[in-house]
Structure 1
Amino acid sequence: MSSAQVSKQRKAFLSQAPPPGYVPGLGRGATGFTTRSDIGPAREAGDISDERHPRPGKKSKTDDDDRSDEEDLNEANFDEFNGYGGSLFSSGPYDADDREADRIYNSIDSHMDKRRKERREKRFQEEIEKFRQERPKIQQQFSDLKRALSRVSNDEWLSIPDVGDARNKRERNPHVRPDRYTPVPDTVLQRAINQTGRHNTLSAAQLAGGYITPYPGTLTQIGGTITPGFATSTHIDLKQIGEARNSMLGVKLDQVSDSVSGQTVVDPKGYLTDLNSITPQSTGDINDVKKARLLLKSVITTNPSHAPGWIASARLEEVTGHIQKARNIVMQGCDACPKNEDVWLEATRLQPDDQAKAVIAQSIRQLPQSVKLWIKATELETEVSAKRSVLRKALEQIPTSVRVWKAAIELEEVEDAKILLNRAVECCPLSVELWLALGRLESYENARKVLNKARENIPTDRLIWITASKLEESQENLHMVPKIIERALSSLQANLVEINRDQWITDAEECENSGSVHTAQAIIHAVISIGVEDEDRLDQWVEDAESCTAHEAYQCARAIHAHMLKVFPSKKNVWLRAAYFEKSHGSRQQLEELLQKAVAHCPKAEVLWLMGAKSKWLSGDVPAARSILALAFQANPNSEEIWLAAVKLESESGEFERARRLLEKARSSAGTGRVMMKSAKLEWVLKDLTKARELLEEALEKHPDFAKLWMMRGQLEEERGDIAVARDIYNRGVKKIPNSVPIWLLLSRLEERNNNITKARSILENARHKNLQTPELWLEAVRVEVRGEKKSIGMGLMAKALQECPSSGILWAEAIFMELRPQRKTKSVDALKKCEHDAHVLLAVAKLFWTERKISKGREWFQRAIKIDPDLGDTWAYFYKFEQQHGTEAQQEAVRKRCNVAEPRHGEAWCAVSKDMKNWQKHTDQLLPLVANSLPIPM
């Protein structure tokens, strides 16, 4: 026996018996303990005998030979309990405990299977029923018919006719044999070819042999020799086929022509056009129409009095193009449902104009009280007199129909309309529209009487009271307006009518739109507090004012603000909101009157004083502005804002000496860093640089943490040309205020202008370490590389910047235009996903459309950017430049006016121009074109 055979018969290692004297763990030194098995059994009298655990018998060689190793997958080697390879513990005996355990497990499995059996059978039955519903058997489909056969009598069975012979006379003649077609075997065809010796194709062998014939496709084979023959040619002439097709089309057109009258039924020129006008219907559509027609036929057959069935059936035929069939069906519906107005209306719609009148007349005879039928009859008439006649007949039948009265009144002149309205309100006393229409046509005195009668008949309607108030306002009886509104509310509440506050505010807005301003304001004052809790009043009223402003009901919003000021006279925010409203939607006089009241109630509110002074200054009344500021000084002594406002007033008016004296007093009484800065700036713009430097040095000693002082000090030295001193000042500034980003930027740009690019990079890197996640520093680092013609390095820095500041709009805006043209749109989409509401990104997208010559989209995105942040001056400047290039003068003027109202103060390009000392006295309308001219056209 070979070694391979021996290895195959050898059992697995874990299945082998241990050698004699083997002690587990002895080789590893595990001899420190002794178990019971080492010393042998020690039993008591009551111990269970070993009969339950018999010793395993010695296995014979045959058993070992029959057992295969783990890789033997023969079916003869399969054991139900252990499987193919046997169990890990198969060497042990299968004793009584094992049998007991298996029995218990089997009983548990059987018990669980019985518990699940009912549920399993129920689920199986449900699946079978669902399957049978979706795919029923043939016998199930005809089961109801089979059951019905049990009720058939014998006579009915016998009366069933026999199946007739459907064959014609020739087919029934037994002497005539029917025609039969039997396919001819291929052997017969081949034999015929061999006998005639002619065929029209060449085999592959013949083509390979290189046989050539002067007649392509006509070869004759005789006795194995191929010679030219006269077989039919297989050459295809496409020209002849096209001519044949045209000839066939001409024949078909001639066949459909009228040879008697000489007029063709089909227009040859418009033939294809007519074909295109035909609506193609697929097989599925035809099948659906057939099913729908069958269903609707069943509906109208089983229930002929169901009007919607007739209408649906007629519309189905109309859709499929069978208009006459639709008319016939709907007329049958009218006969079946003569008291249904919808069927008559459908029949009138489907009939031609000349027959529609007859149908509508017939319908009115059936339903004389139907308003819809009378209105339809009126619409069918073309003459006004005929319409009047129809409507008067309708009023004779249904005098209480408001719709018919309104239709009749609309056709009459004013005097006749009054007569009809007087009769209408008698017949329909509960119609508010008729009463109000009559009141509008009457004179003032008669209108009052009409409205009083209307209130008596309809005491629960608010529109009558509102109309009465508008009537008094039209006669300049303004003192009666609030009284009528108050009486209206009390009367409606007495009649248990709920006062809907929102509905009354909507009525007030409608009154304002119609020109009744006092009525609108009276309604607002009367209902503004109804249903509002005391702690929610302010928020609710602010919301109401904003809603009215959004609806352009400015008088209603003004009334709400007036009521808020009356209830909260000492709240500064309420006065400020009202002042901003008047500034945006009111006149200068209204604003100044409101501010005078505001400072009387809130004298400590500096912003109210300043708004009043600015309004006077903008109107050119400088003395009045000074007097307001003087009163503000008395109410707020040593106020920095008021001091600076007074200085700005004098400097803008050209009173520089007066401004200097004011600043000197301000430094002595309120020597803040901002006052010191304004003092130095005034001396700077007046060209006294020595005085400005002295003031800045003094200010830095007192306020070393004020960043703008360091910036002005360094810029002053730059203007004087002392670069070393400026560098030293900036370095001192960043050491003193390391969180001031503008000082870092000024220091970096100073080094870059002096060709110290490496130094500028190191400064910006140091700044980024001390000011993490600062987009301005990253942006400047990128621009340094781009200006140094190292765009690839700049792109890498931009990627890092976007990782650190993923929601920075200025970085995304710069990244869009750093890409090549094809990639800019994709980059802009990414930017909008990250910064959807950032004005810089919206401005970049607008510029992108500008470069692509998409004018309308560019203008739209400029509008969005302005709406998001109206304080960004760069957006206004780019928008103005865009309109200069692609807009009209009116559009440019509109941008300029809106910019003046917004008064922007921020933006990189805007601040570069507005902070220039040469432009310190220029206003917004003067700065806008300067900034626009300094901007490059996007490329």
Structure 2
Amino acid sequence: MAANNKNKLAFLSMPAPASYVAGLGRGASGFTTRSDIGPAREGPSAEVIAEAQARRGEEVEPDPEQFQDPDNEYGLFAGTTYEQDDEEADKIYESVDEAMDSRRRARREAQEQAELAKLRAERPKIQQQFADLKRGLSAVTDEEWESIPEVGNLTRKKRRREERSYVVPDSVLVGDRNKTEFENALDERQQLAGGFDSSLDNGALTNFVEIGQARDKILSLKLDQISGTQSTLNGTSTSVDPKGYLTSLDSVAIKSSAEIGDIKRARMLFDSLVKSNPKHAPGWIAAACLEEHAGKMVAARKIIKQGCEHCPKSEDVWLEAARLHNNEDAKIVLANAVQHVGQSVKIWLAAADLEHDLKAKKRVLRKGTYIPLLFLPFFALLRPFSFLLSSSFFSFEPPSAFTAAVHPLMLPGALEHIPNSVRLWKETVNLESSASDARILLARAVEVIPLSVELWLALARLESPDKAKAVLNKARKAIPTSHEIWIAAGRLLEQEACLPSKSAEQRNKELEMVDKTIEGAVRDLRRHQVLLTREQWLKEAEKCEEEGSPRTCEAIVKATIGMDVEEEDRLDTWVSDAEAVETKGRVGTARAILAFALKVYPDKRSLWRRAAELEKAHGTRESLDAILERAVVHCPQAEVLWLMAAKEKWLAGDVPAAREVLERAFVANPESEQIWLAAVKLEAENGEFGVARELLIRARTVADTERIWMKSAVFERQQGQTSTALETLATALKKFPKFAKLYMIQGQIHQAAGNIAAARSSFAAGIKACPKEPTLWILASRLEEADGRSIKARALLEKARLVNPGTDTLWAESVGVEERSGGAQQAKSMLSRALQECPSSGLLWSLALWAEPRASRKTKSVDALRKTKDSPLVVCTVARVLWADRMIERAREWFGRATGMDKDLGDVWGWWLKFERQHGNEEQREAVRVKCVAAEPHHSPVWQSIAKDDKNVGKSTREILEMVADALK
């Protein structure tokens, strides 16, 4: 038996099997003890642990890395190459995300800023309220920092106190016992005061009327203390309505525990600050503001009172004290303030602002404030009851010269204390209602302060013209370095010269005095070493124009515009100055600058044209005619000036004057092509067709140019004389065989007459003579297409592209031929080839945008805008895409951008008008028409086809715009 037991326990001395872990079957994972240190064993392998978990019935969690591709460890596409297409796709997605985010970003950010500002206004942070005090701490020296006392115990732990016990007196016990008892019977003996008496145990009588009066008196005293009342001889004047006291409690803001803690900490800091440095005025002000924020007005007034005592020379402390008190108390505070800081302008102005009566304001500023001496005993009686009425605020001692019964106590006025303050004089003058009183005050003011330019100018404005001159002369002698006085003298002379009673000769003579005055001013100021820059003088000129003195403005420009400018840079500098002031709306200054420049450079036609454009934009028709009349006299060879003058006469309805201008232009420029054609257009559009024909015949003789021959043929064609037009073209082609437009007109005349063979011959001759003209190839292709020979049209365009590589109009026509033939896939393939050859063509990208599906047009638009560098055609197409997506406001904005980039594209104006017809009102449509008429577009396919049609001869730009909008699809 013992042997069997011994065999059974023999395994205890045997070594453990490999990878054995005690308790593994119960979920143990193995551990290492101190006894295992030395020949330590490794823990169980993953297979052993998995086998043990399987025996317990637990699911074996799969290894997350067992299915990982070793060649692609970091993601699905980690092993691929990041190509240019991937980069473009990422950029497109980023641009789309940015566009989606920027839709309402401005509105969202503005709303967040408004909410944040509202929150900061309602509940400002402590650091914002005391930011100025923190900035003031930068001036504290090291010695002052070291002298700051310790704040004491900050652990917030309550000290353990010894527990004490007290014997409760019997009166407290009796009082507690009687609290719950009440008498339900009253003595019916009525007293003389109207109340009822109740008899107590000791025989005393209770008067309920007196109790009620006492209660009212106590409540009144509490309200007075809370609201800061002031007692006077007339009674009690309070800023809080006692009847609405309980109602007003509903509006009291209850502060949170965090705010209360912040206030306590700030109060402790400010208390330490004012104790360590009691002469630091901002500390007292900040401490008072803290108590005001906490709603403790009594404490705030007490603190600011101490600040006034410690810092009596600080005007800010006195002003803060006046602010924290009501109106009457503030007057007393400021009355005491002027005794300590009588030279403070702010104190006196604040005292004047407290007065509501005009006479009282004048007394404060001029003669002082009057306080009857009878009030002084009353103030003395009230002094012990309130800290507000302490000796700090009531230290009035009447002068011995006055008696208490008759004379009042007078505090000297602001001007008696500070007679050299310009601001006080200005405020005093502003209080005067009559000009005579103000004049008297200003006369005294300039005597006291002779170096104040403002006072001299104010006095001159109030005087009559003759006296004003004398005033300005005195001012000029007193202040010889002031340019304002000289300018005021010039404006005064201009004002006198413009009186209705003056004749034209007198007016011109006096206006010349303005120029001489300003010239003398510049010389005199330079003699006194006052060197104003040219920009400063220009600002003064703009100011004079703004205040209604154009001649003074012109005089300043004449005298100073040439200062500090090199001779070779004068023209560019003056033109840029004129443009700069014109953008500010100072047309008179710009006109004066250009007028002076024209005197220096009278033969610069660009300068005359710039002046004419200024008058056309901002001047009258008479001023424009005058400037153009002077321009053609100084620049008779400038054809554009003659044409502008004639056109303005024509637009004004004065056709004979326009003819007269053109006749003078013929004399100065007998061989000018533009003047001859302008004369023909004038006569033709006014119904003088015979005169126009004669002019064309003379023009072909005098100015034998290819354009005049072309206009002659077009004129005959418009008049229905096709045979004469063909004869003219035949003669012109002999003289100018390389002029492509002659072949175009000839071919179009034959095509309109139905002679296809002759038209084909004309276009073929034109292509042979002018192979580099794409329009000829396009017209020939359209002729073949109209004749039903699309294959021939394709061949012509193919040959044209070989002869004129990189021409986007030929590629666009080829795409159009394929679309009209019904081959959508061929058109798309042709468009793809076109974009490869002309990658920056706005015309081709516009076609490509509409060839895309609607969902991908926006993405394609980004590529189109980038590759064409914001072509106006692409911008117009983007506007149409937005229009199709019902994004009305953005579409209108993009149409405006397109027309602003190139105003000569008539089709863009037509698309915009078509859009406004559908989504705009009449005002918006009229705005588009007005802008189009001002721009006068001449190009774009649909616009040219309608404008040059014989049926539309003589129609205005507005009418053609309506027709283009109808034709666009």
Q: Match of 1:491, as an amino acid?
A: D
Pairwise CA distance, 1:584: 2.6
Q: Match of 1:435, as an amino acid?
A: W
Pairwise CA distance, 1:720: 1.7
User: Deviation per CA, 1:353-406, whole angstroms, max 9, x where unpaired?
Assistant: 565444444433331211122222333333333333332222222121111121
Query: Which residue of 2 is the match for residue 471 of structure 1?
Result: 492
Q: Match of 2:542, as an amino acid?
A: E
| Structure 1: distance between partners of 2:294 and 2:768 | 88
| Structure 1: distance between partners of 2:911 and 2:863 | 23
User: Deviation per CA, 1:232-252, whole angstroms, max 9, x where unpaired?
Assistant: xxxxxxxxxxxxxxxxxxxxx
Pairwise CA distance, 1:874: 3.3
1:622 aligns with 2:596: no
| Structure 2: distance between partners of 1:264 and 1:391 | 38
| Structure 2: distance between partners of 1:278 and 1:912 | 79
Query: Which residue of 1 is the match for residue 119 of structure 2?
Result: none
Which of 281, 305, 316 in structure 2 is aligned with 1:342? Answer: 316
| Structure 2: distance between partners of 1:779 and 1:290 | 80
Deviates more, 1:689-698 or 1:733-742: 733-742
The runs of 5 or more residues in structure 2 that have no matched partner are 1-145, 147-157, 166-243, 367-412, 498-509
Query: Which residue of 2 is the match for residue 590 of structure 1?
Result: 623
Does the 8 Å contact 2:670/2:702 carry over to 1? no
Query: Which residue of 2 is the match for residue 678 of structure 1?
Result: 711
Query: Which residue of 2 is the match for residue 740 of structure 1?
Result: 773
Task: Say which SS state the counterpart of residue 454 (structure 1) adopts.
Answer: helix
CA distance 1:266–1:520, shift in 2 (3 Å): closer
1:378 aligns with 2:352: yes
Q: Match of 1:404, as an amino acid?
A: L
1:904 aligns with 2:937: yes
CA distance 1:406–1:613, shift in 2 (3 Å): same
Pairwise CA distance, 1:497: 0.6
Matching of residues 318-337 of structure 1 within 5 Å: 329-337=303-311
Identity across matched positions, percent: 50
| Structure 1: distance between partners of 2:353 and 2:849 | 62
| Structure 2: distance between partners of 1:784 and 1:387 | 90
CA distance 1:744–1:377, shift in 2 (3 Å): farther
User: Deviation per CA, 1:461-510, whole angstroms, max 9, x where unpaired?
Assistant: 11111111111111113232112111211211121110321122222222
Query: Which residue of 2 is the match for residue 437 of structure 1?
Result: 458
User: Deviation per CA, 1:64-122, whole angstroms, max 9, x where unpaired?
Assistant: xxxxxxxxxxxxxxxxxxxxxxxxxxxxxxxxxxxxxxxxxxxxxxxxxxxxxxxxxxx
Query: Which residue of 2 is the match for residue 412 of structure 1?
Result: 432
Q: Match of 1:450, as an amino acid?
A: V
CA distance 1:315–1:764, shift in 2 (3 Å): farther
Aligned residues: 676
CA distance 1:557–1:169, shift in 2 (3 Å): closer
CA distance 1:265–1:602, shift in 2 (3 Å): closer
CA distance 1:658–1:825, shift in 2 (3 Å): same
Pairwise CA distance, 1:861: 4.4
Pairwise CA distance, 1:445: 1.3
Which of 659, 663, 667 in structure 2 is aligned with 1:634? Answer: 667
Does the 8 Å contact 2:307/2:317 carry over to 1? yes
Matching of residues 427-576 of structure 1 within 5 Å: 427-476=448-497, 477-576=510-609
1:696 aligns with 2:696: no
Query: Which residue of 1 is the match for residue 689 of structure 2?
Result: 656
CA distance 1:530–1:305, shift in 2 (3 Å): same
CA distance 1:710–1:432, shift in 2 (3 Å): same
Query: Which residue of 1 is the match for residue 87 of structure 2?
Result: none
| Structure 2: distance between partners of 1:264 and 1:616 | 80
Pairwise CA distance, 1:823: 4.6
Query: Which residue of 2 is the match for residue 601 of structure 1?
Result: 634
The runs of 5 or more residues in structure 1 that have no matched partner are 1-147, 149-162, 171-262
| Structure 2: distance between partners of 1:288 and 1:792 | 77
| Structure 2: distance between partners of 1:410 and 1:859 | 52
Query: Which residue of 2 is the match for residue 390 of structure 1?
Result: 364
| Structure 2: distance between partners of 1:737 and 1:289 | 92
Q: Match of 2:731, as an amino acid?
A: E
CA distance 1:305–1:907, shift in 2 (3 Å): farther
Does the 8 Å contact 2:747/2:760 carry over to 1? yes
| Structure 2: distance between partners of 1:592 and 1:837 | 39
Deviates more, 1:456-465 or 1:700-709: 700-709
Query: Which residue of 1 is the match for residue 372 of structure 2?
Result: none
| Structure 2: distance between partners of 1:888 and 1:500 | 51
Query: Which residue of 1 is the match for residue 35 of structure 2?
Result: none
CA distance 1:802–1:467, shift in 2 (3 Å): farther
The TM-score with structure 2 as length reference comes to 0.63
Q: Match of 1:527, as an amino acid?
A: T
User: Deviation per CA, 1:809-840, whole angstroms, max 9, x where unpaired?
Assistant: 44455555555555555555555555666443
User: Deviation per CA, 1:523-556, whole angstroms, max 9, x where unpaired?
Assistant: 1111111111111110111111112222222222
CA distance 1:743–1:497, shift in 2 (3 Å): same
| Structure 1: distance between partners of 2:331 and 2:304 | 16
Matching of residues 9-88 of structure 1 within 5 Å: none
User: Deviation per CA, 1:738-782, whole angstroms, max 9, x where unpaired?
Assistant: 332323333344444455555555554544444444443444445
CA distance 1:367–1:587, shift in 2 (3 Å): same
Q: CA RMSD in A?
A: 3.8
CA distance 1:681–1:463, shift in 2 (3 Å): same
| Structure 2: distance between partners of 1:747 and 1:847 | 31
Deviates more, 1:787-796 or 1:651-660: 787-796
| Structure 1: distance between partners of 2:266 and 2:857 | 55
The TM-score with structure 1 as length reference comes to 0.65
Does the 8 Å contact 2:291/2:297 carry over to 1? yes
Q: Match of 1:557, as an amino acid?
A: A
| Structure 1: distance between partners of 2:281 and 2:786 | 90
CA distance 1:798–1:450, shift in 2 (3 Å): farther
Query: Which residue of 1 is the match for residue 443 of structure 2?
Result: 422
Q: Match of 2:345, as an amino acid?
A: V
Task: Say which SS state the counterpart of residue 511 (structure 2) adopts.
Answer: coil
| Structure 2: distance between partners of 1:344 and 1:494 | 47
CA distance 1:399–1:785, shift in 2 (3 Å): farther
Pairwise CA distance, 1:321: 6.9
Q: Match of 2:576, as an amino acid?
A: E
CA distance 1:825–1:348, shift in 2 (3 Å): farther
Deviates more, 1:772-781 or 1:437-446: 772-781
Query: Which residue of 1 is the match for residue 226 of structure 2?
Result: none
Query: Relative contact order (alpha carbons < 8 A, sep ≥ 6): 1 or 2 greater?
Result: 2
CA distance 1:365–1:910, shift in 2 (3 Å): farther
User: Deviation per CA, 1:17-61, whole angstroms, max 9, x where unpaired?
Assistant: xxxxxxxxxxxxxxxxxxxxxxxxxxxxxxxxxxxxxxxxxxxxx
CA distance 1:715–1:325, shift in 2 (3 Å): farther
Q: Match of 2:568, as an amino acid?
A: E
| Structure 1: distance between partners of 2:700 and 2:743 | 18
| Structure 2: distance between partners of 1:444 and 1:169 | 93
| Structure 2: distance between partners of 1:355 and 1:833 | 72
Query: Which residue of 1 is the match for residue 422 of structure 2?
Result: 402
CA distance 1:412–1:169, shift in 2 (3 Å): closer
When Rg is computed on C-alpha atoms for both structures, the one with the higher figure is 1
Q: Match of 1:737, as an amino acid?
A: C
Query: Which residue of 2 is the match for residue 45 of structure 1?
Result: none
| Structure 2: distance between partners of 1:511 and 1:897 | 34
